[in-house]
Copies of this chain bind each other. A is one copy, B any other.
Amino acid sequence: MGPPTVRIEPNETQGAGKAETILAAAKRMFLEHGFGAVSMDAIARAAGVSKATVYAHFAGKEELFGAVIGRECERYFADFSAGELDPEDVGASLTTLGCRFLDLLLSPDAIALHRLILGEVGRFPALGEVFWRAGPERNLGQIEAFMRTAAAAGTLRIDNPRLAAEQFVGLLRGETQLRYLLRLDSGTERAKIDTLTAAAVATFLSAFKG
């Protein structure tokens, strides 16, 4: 009576549920303490399962780590939709893009993820490529696409849309992200994000307005 090609596991709490629980616990631990400082024992305890169960689902600590990171990277820019941008109103569009970018970039999860990846990319070189493509590259592509349409519409004087996108991102970031990564600052209040974005947009428009 069920669908012929797809089988629904009757007890998802026991099968995939455990793996899910382990992944969630591992994510929390890794993001909070880093790779080296977290033991498989601690992950098992945090997930409420035995150590042997963890090893039943993941071949080892490194594989578990990779699974967590890959997952987070995918989630990273999932909610970005470039629909509501207007090439005619570049100020509003850049402000929208900027606020969204900074809101994500400075979020506690993103900061923790950056710390984790940058700290471990020396030991796991593949991490860099995975993260770049899932996060920064995708974001840069969306901003570049807007630069291109604005240049075509004549509302911005841009020769190199890719470079312009990178410079806009640079203006937005400044040293702010570094201060967050170094734990010298925190918080994503709307007023702060708006101020940072406004300054970047003003300078960018002053340089590229047609």
Chief secondary structure at chain A's binding surface:
helix
B-contact bits for A163-175, CB 8 A (1 contact / 0 none): 1001101111111
A184 touches B129 (CB 8 A): yes
* Residues of B close to A171: CB separation below 8 A: 167, 170-171
A123 touches B175 (CB 8 A): no
B184 touches A174 (CB 8 A): no
* Residues of B close to A200: CB separation below 8 A: 167, 170
| Residue tally, chain A, CB below 8 Å to B | 49
Determine how close the nearest CB of chain B comes to the CB of A41; give it in whole angstroms.
Answer: 16
Contact of A120 among B34, B121, B125, B207 (CB under 8 A): B34
Nearest chain B residue, comparing its CB with the CB of A117 = B182
A171 to B175, CA, bound (A): 11
A83 beta carbon closer than 8 Å to chain B: no
* Residues of B close to A35: CB separation below 8 A: 36
A121 to B200, CA, bound (A): 28
A181 beta carbon closer than 8 Å to chain B: yes
Give the B-binding residues of A (Cβ under 8 A): 32-37, 112, 114-123, 125, 127-129, 131-132, 136, 140, 163, 166-167, 169-176, 178-179, 181-184, 199-200, 203-204, 206-208
